[in-house]
Structure 1
Amino acid sequence: MRYLKVFAQDRTGVGRADTVLLQFYQSTPGIQDSLIHHAVAYDFPTDGKIDYSRGDVTNDGRESRLDKVLLDRFASAYLKLNWFNPGTTSTRYMKFFSEDFYKDGTPDTVRLHVQEGAGNTHPHTLVAWNAAYDFDNDQVLEWNIHFDINHDGVIDDLDRRLVHQLAELYLLFSWHEPQTFEVKVLDIPAS
């Protein structure tokens, strides 16, 4: 399974996030998850506009203009969540992953899990979850379940739009795995 961990940090100490870190992981049963690569975006004056970013978020092995555009859009939306860490700590994050219920190799669900915890001493805790769905399997997210993703104390249309935007951008990162099918060859005796 592939997933993305996103951390926002207030490195300048102004009470708002100014840095967004993206970590792309590969999970394999029975072994520790592997960090495959990462990307970063900075909003130095904390005005909601990305000033500098770098990283291959389209997962094609090179950084391009498309990577910058997608990363900047994703980081700008993520900064609106008000789910960040003071300084360079990384206990608060969101985990993104997709699922393929139709088993056709295309993702039809994107899950956004709001997490807190640092691991060994402070276990990871699922604080909240959100999800976007493609019910008719046409590769367009039509519906989502959303809670107060931006942590402003109100569940409203802004939360719905943020879940939808982040889920769509995550799918453009191409960080999902096609469903693999196991073909069994039956041993049929000759007659």
Structure 2
Amino acid sequence: MRYLKVIVQDRSDNELADTAKLYFFQRDPGLPDELVHEALAFDATADGAVDYQKTGDVDFSGASSLHDRRLLQAFANQALKLSWFNAGETAGRSIDLYVSRYDKNGQAVEVRSDFYQRSSTGGRDKLMYSTTACDQDGNGSLEPSGQDASFELFDTLDHQTIHALSQLFLKFNWH
């Protein structure tokens, strides 16, 4: 299984998210998770838009390209909108995105977003919230599942952002 771990931080200490770190992991049974690639995006001007980034081949096409840079920028700009971020350089909150269901043709039809909070005791990550975006009509468009609409940790902007992140995640071809 492949998944993307996203850590959003407020490293400027201005109560606005400014850094998005993306970690692309491969999980194989019986082995530790393997970090395959990482990318970084930073908003230096506190305007909610990425100013600097370390991209590489984030769409796994075999080469780093302008498409990779644009994809990372679009994803990170969305991630910076979330209220689920860390103060300073800590990494106590994270989001894991992964495909949780495929159709009979092998196309991704469900993207899961798991929100973790590091426990103060034991240092383990605790699952705080999960949401799913599904392609219910088979038309290639993900829609949020209905049961997530009333969760009190997130506002409307967060719900829209989580949905956008799910759609952009599929463009990384990391599933």
User: Which residue does the alignment assign to 2:3?
Assistant: 3
- Give yes or no for the alignment of 1:138 onto 2:142: no
Amino acid at match of 1:33: D
Aligned-partner Cα distance in 1 for 2:80–2:152? 9
Aligned-pair CA distance for 1:106: 1.1
Aligned-pair CA distance for 1:144: 3.1
Distance change (3 Å), C-alpha of 1:77 and 1:68: same
User: Which residue does the alignment assign to 1:41?
Assistant: 41
Aligned-pair CA distance for 1:151: 5.0
User: Which residue does the alignment assign to 1:100?
Assistant: 101
Kindly indicate which of the two structures has a greater share of residues assigned to strand.
2
Aligned-partner Cα distance in 2 for 1:48–1:5? 20
* Larger Rg computed on CA atoms: 1
Aligned-pair CA distance for 1:99: 2.2
User: Which residue does the alignment assign to 2:161?
Assistant: 162
Amino acid at match of 1:163: I
User: Quick check: 2:119–2:125 contact (8 Å CA) kept in 1?
Assistant: yes
Distance change (3 Å), C-alpha of 1:70 and 1:148: farther
User: Which residue does the alignment assign to 2:114?
Assistant: 113
User: RMSD of the alignment, in Å?
Assistant: 2.3
User: Quick check: 2:101–2:111 contact (8 Å CA) kept in 1?
Assistant: no
Aligned-partner Cα distance in 1 for 2:90–2:63? 28
User: Quick check: 1:130–1:147 contact (8 Å CA) kept in 2?
Assistant: no
SS at match of 1:29: coil
Aligned-pair CA distance for 1:147: 4.5
User: Quick check: 1:21–1:41 contact (8 Å CA) kept in 2?
Assistant: yes
Aligned-partner Cα distance in 2 for 1:103–1:24? 25
Distance change (3 Å), C-alpha of 1:25 and 1:6: same
Aligned-pair CA distance for 1:63: 1.6
User: Which residue does the alignment assign to 2:27?
Assistant: 27
% identity of equivalent residues = 37
SS at match of 2:131: strand
Aligned-partner Cα distance in 1 for 2:120–2:61? 30
> What is the total number of aligned residue pairs between the two structures?
173
Distance change (3 Å), C-alpha of 1:41 and 1:148: farther
1:46-61 paired onto structure 2 within 5 Å: 46-55=46-55, 56-61=57-62
Could you report, residue by residue, the CA deviation over 1:93-118 in whole angstroms, capped at 9, with x for unpaired residues? 10000023434211100011111127
Distance change (3 Å), C-alpha of 1:86 and 1:60: same
Aligned-partner Cα distance in 1 for 2:105–2:120? 34
- Segments of 5+ residues of structure 2 without an aligned counterpart are none
Aligned-pair CA distance for 1:123: 1.5
Distance change (3 Å), C-alpha of 1:26 and 1:159: same
User: Which residue does the alignment assign to 2:63?
Assistant: 62
TM-score by length of 1: 0.81
